[in-house]
Amino acid sequence: MNSAKCPKCSLVQWDDSGVCKRCGSSLAPDTISQQFDGTPVSNEYAYQAPQPQSAASAEYGQPQLKSGLALTSMILAIIAFPTTFLLIGLLLAPIAMIMGIVALVRAARKPMIYGGKGFAIAGICVSAVVCVFFVPLIAAIAIPNLLASRRAANEGSALSTIETIALAQDKHSTADESGNCGDLMTLAAKNLIQGDLAAGKKNGYRFDAGGNVSDSDGCEVRATPESRSQGNRSFYFSSADGVVRVAKNGSPANHTDPPVTEYSRASN
């Protein structure tokens, strides 16, 4: 016969009827019936199966995994997606991708400490879309505009340099009774232009100067772009009419090309 302890009133008794003789509660059978000498054993020390934890106890019993880096990666990637055309996303996307990769590696190596794999994967995927698809698109739009701005800046510099050389030739011709117009080396030797301009190159343009005051074209200055990426217009100046002329067909400009009236010497 097995002994049992009442779970309600704690009375140890023989389990012959399945109910407690004191309070009438149902008895749980003991796993150990008797000792070798016949003394009944209390079920106080009997094995009890572990009771399942509730959802609340399970939640508070497990350590909270760290997922801040993974979550930050996803947030930055989401912000980078719509701000790509403002160029902010181009800066945020690589940062979000690096943070996502670091968070994913941490979660794989130390799963008991770091979590957020889903956040990290989302951050990596979104930032990868920004880098793979939007960066080439932005580059295709921005690069031609940058090249056009560069050509415009080089052309403005070339026109300014032509004016500088033309004024230097006037000073040289006034002081030189031979009537010859000064070339770049001569003008630089007399400190009428800067020494670095004597080489004939500045800001993507090649320059040359010469002529004779008595000729029909007078003193001449030409500016030709070194390549199409540096500029797509060449310029020509003659002291005979004091007008800067421009050629757009890629060939060096001459006295037959139309004038750039806004850059004429008369206006300066």
SS3 sequence of 157-221: HHHHHHHHHHHHHHHHHHHCCCCECCCHHHHHHCCCCCHHHHHCEECCEEEEEEEECCCCCCEEE
Per-residue pLDDT, averaged over 52-63, amounts to 51
At residue 102 the predicted structure's pLDDT band, cuts being 50, 70 and 90, is: very high
Rounded CA-CA distance 109/80 in Å is 28
The reply to whether 137 and 176 lie within a common domain is no
**Is a pLDDT exceeding 80 seen at residue 22?**
no
The reply to whether 193 and 138 lie within a common domain is no
Identify whether 214 is part of a domain.
yes
Domain's final residue, options 122, 144, 166:
144
Taking only the tens place, the pLDDT of each residue in 158-201 is: 999 999 998 998 888 887 766 678 889 988 888 888 888 888 89
CATH number assigned to the domain comprising residue 199: 3.30.700
Residue 225 pairs with which residues in a beta bridge? 205
Identify whether 184 is part of a domain.
yes
Alpha helix (H) residue ranges in the chain: 55-61, 68-80, 88-109, 117-129, 135-175, 184-189
The reply to whether 171 and 238 lie within a common domain is yes
- Structure tokens that stand for 126 in this block: 């979104």
Identify whether 131 is part of a domain.
yes
Q: Residue 174 sits in which domain range? A: 152-267
Taking only the tens place, the pLDDT of each residue in 110-144 is: 988 998 999 999 999 999 988 888 778 777 777 88
Identify whether 50 is part of a domain.
no
- Structure tokens that stand for 63 in this block: 């350590």
The reply to whether 156 and 204 lie within a common domain is yes
**Is a pLDDT exceeding 90 seen at residue 213?**
no
Identify whether 239 is part of a domain.
yes
Identify whether 51 is part of a domain.
no
Asked if residue 104 lies in contact with residue 117, where contact means CB atoms within 8 angstroms, the answer is yes
Question: How would you classify residue 205: left for phi > 0, otherwise alpha for psi between -120 and 50, otherwise beta?
Answer: beta
The reply to whether 159 and 241 lie within a common domain is yes
Q: How many domains does the chain have?
A: 3
Taking only the tens place, the pLDDT of each residue in 216-244 is: 778 899 999 988 878 888 999 988 888 89
Is residue 5 within a helix (H) or strand (E), and if so which, with residue range?
strand 3-5
List the one residue out of 114, 223, 120 whose CA is nearest residue 164: 223
At residue 264 the predicted structure's pLDDT band, cuts being 50, 70 and 90, is: very low
At residue 61 the predicted structure's pLDDT band, cuts being 50, 70 and 90, is: low
Identify whether 254 is part of a domain.
yes
